[in-house]
Chain A
Amino acid sequence: MATSVFALEPLWLALLLQALAAVLLFLIGALVVGYLEHKVLAHMQDRLGPMEAIWHGIGQLPADGLKFLQKEDIIPTAADRWVFALAPAVAVVPGVVIIAVLPFGPGLWLTDLDAGIFFALAASGVTVLGTLMAGWSSANKFSLMGGLRGAAQLISYELPLVLAAAAIVIQAGTLSLPGIVEAQHGFTLFGVPMIYGVPHIIGLGLFFVAALAELSRPPFDMPIADSELIAGHMTEYTGMRYAFFMLSEYAGMVILSALATVLFLGGWYPWPGVGLPEGAAGMVLGFVITFAKILVLSAIMVWLRATFPRMREDQLQRLSWSVLIPLGLLNVVLVATAKVWF
């Protein structure tokens, strides 16, 4: 198996490059998916979306970022200053951290942790701390309700997410993300090379639904339900701090899509059994393939946003505890049985 391209000497150079790559990937991924959402949503709604900034509005999000930078940073008098100021950072950091273990191509990962999937899911759970901190510290009732909804949602949906991933871990026999891609590369279903997504169709569905809920994307966007809670935990935020929350949402779409790509869609290989050329060409091709898969999944998330109304808080909890979690447990049992059988 390939080693990371960042396994360089001396160590400080490797660390510097890794940090730079993580932040760049985080920003670029969020911008690309943000632009994708602007455009796909617009065309689904019979309008053009951003058209003015450079060509077809590709400069819209950087321009928005610049605008946010110039905005006044308002902290409400009654707010708990430190927690309020820290919350956006707490929401963003887990995203950057998870990027460290995500493989974007052969050798294109920052580090290959033995417990990679475990680490990624654990870190993604930290995001909600930012939501909760923001909700509590804003000294606003709408924010508080948004924060609490966010926390309740995460507790319910972390389980199906982990259960869906656990089934893949049983199948692949490794927790390492590049390891899972390689194991999937050699996987055959009745002699036909197949991605895990086909036999694990239940798991894929569970993972995708739970990922939507984890990201507070529609139809699970109750924590920020704009018609009820104005903007939930983000109500009191302005300027760059608000932009950080938006950034973490879009980056979250990239990260969870990337995880789904690795777990279910064969990672950087176009199809299991179909290899990539050696060296730099393979890396570039692998990166393009990975990113294409990520964008397809993100586009589906946007599509759902364009068509679905929002669920209600109690309906969301019921869906998780009485449908998704039993289904996830069943899935694990089925996969484990199948694994022993064959």
Chain B
Amino acid sequence: MSETLPQEGGVMLPGGPGEAMSVEIRDRSLVTQEMNLNIGPQHPATHGVLRVVIDLDGEVIVRARPVIGYMHRGFEKLAEVRDYRQIIALVNRHDWISAFCNELGVALAVERLMELEVPTRAQWIRVLMGEWNRILNHLMFIGSFGLELGAITPVFFSFREREDIQAFLESATGGRLHFTYCRVGGLKEDLPRGFLDASRQMAQTMRSRNDEYRQLLLGNEIFHARTKGVGALAPDVAIDYGVTGPTLHATGVAEDTRLTEPYCVYDQLDVSVPVGTNGDSYDRFVVLLDRIDASLDLIEQVHEGLPGGPVNLKMPKTVKAPKGAVYVRTENPLGQGGYYLVSDGGKTPWRMRMRTPSFSNIQMVPELLEGSLLSDMIAILGSVYFVVGDVDR
């Protein structure tokens, strides 16, 4: 606190708490002292170990500085000493709520380097799993955003749906959070009997439940008052910072890798990208809800068009990628994921660099925070969707 003490126009010497402050006001204008507040790394608002150091003038944020790195686990370095099969089980852990999409990115990178043609059925199933994972991820943020605004019910509703979705994904993958279902050259195994029925049924349920969230939150006056116009992000600022995913779409820019650089079978599907107009917290949240519907559309298309056939290529005992480098972009639930894989021909990557959406999203945050109220900080941090593990890796 002492570093911000000397203020123009007055001298304040704080005693211990409980003792009177000796205040000498030289001129008669009101002197307010900036308060330095350290939010996190352990704070209920930052879901994870993000730390934000802010300077407050009353309740207005003057400066904000996110401090990252509390969850750095060195995934990129770890990947250098693991073979390609082990990496699959590694990369679904840095962003633990979009596990399958991360696996997919790495698998695609290795396959592209080895010039493998993955069976069509595997590619369709990858889309199916990826979209269900996207819904799982968005449900998480729908719940937590409500919680941060003080609405405690949505989180229970969205976790009820997450539970149901995880239950049938578990039947295929064996995992509830870290699926490890992708393999280089295909998938772990084919879908179990009854999976598609469960998936169809859940897609129907999910549509009606999505309307329930809309009614619960969007139908509320206070929700509008708390989010409309709060933390409005301009499209050019967003692009400058490399913001992607729902946070970018809310500003009205429909950049989506599934459209601009289709992978798997997204080019054969009808992908819709919901966009907002103002880029504020409200739009970001609405985009998230709409993306669930868009993902359900894709899932239903997969139900219709899923071809038969094998889901795996015959692979050698040790997978060795040829010498070279490749960069693969995927549309992860939180934004664009990038995988830059450099191989020297061995069975482990020489270097694997990951571009994660949360990192770019969080570096833009001071832009939104400065000048807003402390209460708005929650509405902003909750709607600039990020996972701290994904920021730090």
* A interface residues with partner B (beta carbon < 8 Å): 41, 44-47, 78-80, 83, 136-139, 141, 145, 218-219, 221-222, 225-228, 230, 305-315
**Is there an interface contact between B378 and A311, defined as CB atoms closer than 8 Å?**
no
Q: Are B156 and A45 in contact, CB atoms less than 8 angstroms apart? A: yes
Q: Are B17 and A228 in contact (CB under 8 A)?
A: no
When the two chains form their complex, are residues A78 and B17 in contact, meaning their CB atoms are under 8 A apart? yes
**CB of B85 within 8 Å of the partner chain:** no
Are A79 and B17 touching (Cβ within 8 A)? yes
What are 15 sample pairs from A and B whose C-beta atoms fall under 8 A apart?
A: A46-B157, A78-B17, A80-B18, A225-B375, A227-B44, A227-B45, A227-B147, A307-B153, A307-B216, A308-B150, A308-B220, A308-B222, A309-B220, A310-B150, A312-B226
Indicate whether A309 sits within 8 Å of B18 (C-beta atoms), given known contacts A141-B35, A227-B44, A227-B45. Answer: no
Complex contacts, A227 vs chain B, CB 8 Å: 44-45, 147-150, 378, 382
- A221 nearest in chain B by CB position: B150
Docked pose: A145 CA to B43 CA in angstroms: 15
A136 near B17 with CB under 8 A, answer: yes
Q: Give the 8 A-B residue pairs with the shortest CB-CB distance, closest first.
A: A310-B150, A80-B18, A309-B149, A45-B156, A309-B151, A139-B17, A227-B148, A312-B375
Q: Would you call B153 and A228 a contact (CB within 8 A)? A: no
Contact between B226 and A309, CB atoms less than 8 A apart: yes
| B374 at the binding interface (Cβ < 8 Å) | yes
* Residues of the A chain whose Cβ atoms lie less than 8 Å from the Cβ of B196: none
Q: Would A311 and B373 count as touching, CB distance under 8 A?
A: no
In whole Å, how far is B15's beta carbon from the nearest beta carbon of chain A? Answer: 11
Q: Which residue of B lies closest to A228 (CB)?
A: B378
- Chain A-chain B contacts (Cβ-Cβ < 8 Å), number: 93
Chain B residues with CB under 8 A of A145:
59, 374
* Beyond known contacts A219-B150, A307-B220: 18 more, CB 8 A cutoff: A78-B17, A80-B17, A218-B150, A221-B150, A227-B45, A227-B147, A227-B148, A228-B45, A308-B151, A308-B220, A309-B217, A309-B222, A310-B375, A311-B222, A311-B225, A312-B375, A313-B373, A315-B225
Minimal beta-carbon separation of A51 from chain B (angstroms): 16
Q: Which residues of chain B (353-387) have a CB below 8 Å from chain A?
A: 373-378, 382
Chain A: CB-nearest residue to B59: A313
* A228 and B375 contact, Cβ closer than 8 Å, known pairs A309-B146, A309-B226: yes
Shortest Cβ gap from B288 to chain A (Å): 16
Q: How many residues of B contact A (CB 8 A)?
A: 34
Residue of chain A at shortest CB distance from B19 = A80
Q: How far is the CB of A318 from chain B (nearest CB, A)?
A: 10
The distance from the CB of A234 to the nearest CB of chain B, in whole angstroms, is 13
B74 within 8 A of A: no
Q: For A230, give its contact among B43, B146, B222 (CB under 8 Å).
A: B43
Q: How far is the CA of A222 from the CA of B156 in the complex (A)?
A: 22
Please, how many angstroms separate the alpha-carbon atoms of A156 and B50 in the complex?
Answer: 35
* B222 proximity list for chain A (CB < 8 A): 219, 308-311, 315
Give Cα A122–Cα B231 distance, bound, in whole angstroms.
Answer: 41
Instruction: Report whether A45 and B152 are in contact in the complex, using a CB–CB cutoff of 8 Å.
Output: yes
A305 and B44 CA atoms in complex are apart in Å by: 19
Using a CB–CB cutoff of 8 Å, the interface residues on chain B facing chain A are 16-18, 35, 37, 43-45, 59, 146-153, 156-157, 160, 216-217, 220, 222-223, 225-226, 373-378, 382
Return the chain B residue nearest A136 by Cβ: B17
State A83–B382 Cα separation when bound (angstroms). 36
Chain B residues contacting A305 (CB-CB under 8 Å) are 152
* Contact indicator A312/B37 (Cβ below 8 Å): no
- Which chain B residue has the least Cβ–Cβ distance from A308? B222
Q: How far is A309 from B156 in the complex, measured between Cα atoms in Å?
A: 14
Contacts of A218 in B (CB 8 A): 150, 152
A317 to chain B, nearest CB (A): 11
Q: Does A46 contact B220, Cβ atoms closer than 8 Å?
A: no
A41 proximity list for chain B (CB < 8 A): 152
Per the bound structure, the CA–CA distance linking A80 and B20 in Å amounts to 12
Given the interface contacts A139-B17, A230-B43, does A44 sit within 8 Å of B153 by beta carbon?
yes
Check if B17 sits within 8 Å of A312, measured CB to CB. Answer: no
In the complex where A308-B220, A309-B222 touch, is A228 in contact with B374 (Cβ < 8 A)? yes
Taking CB atoms, residues of chain A closer than 8 Å to B150 are 218-219, 221, 225, 227, 308-310
> With a CB–CB cut-off of 8 A, which chain B residues contact A83?
18
CB <8 Å contact, B156 and A47: yes
| A320, B18: Cα distance in complex, Å | 32
On whether the beta carbons of A222 and B375 are closer than 8 Å, the reply is yes
Q: List chain B residues, Cβ under 8 A from A78.
A: 16-17
Q: In the complex, what residues of A have CB within 8 A of residue B217's CB?
A: 309
Q: Known A230-B43, A308-B151, A312-B373; judge A46-B160 contact (CB<8 A).
A: yes
A219–B375 Cα distance when bound, in Å, is 13
B153 touches A45 (CB 8 A): yes
> B224: shortest Cβ distance to chain A, in Å?
10
List chain B residues, Cβ under 8 A from A314.
373
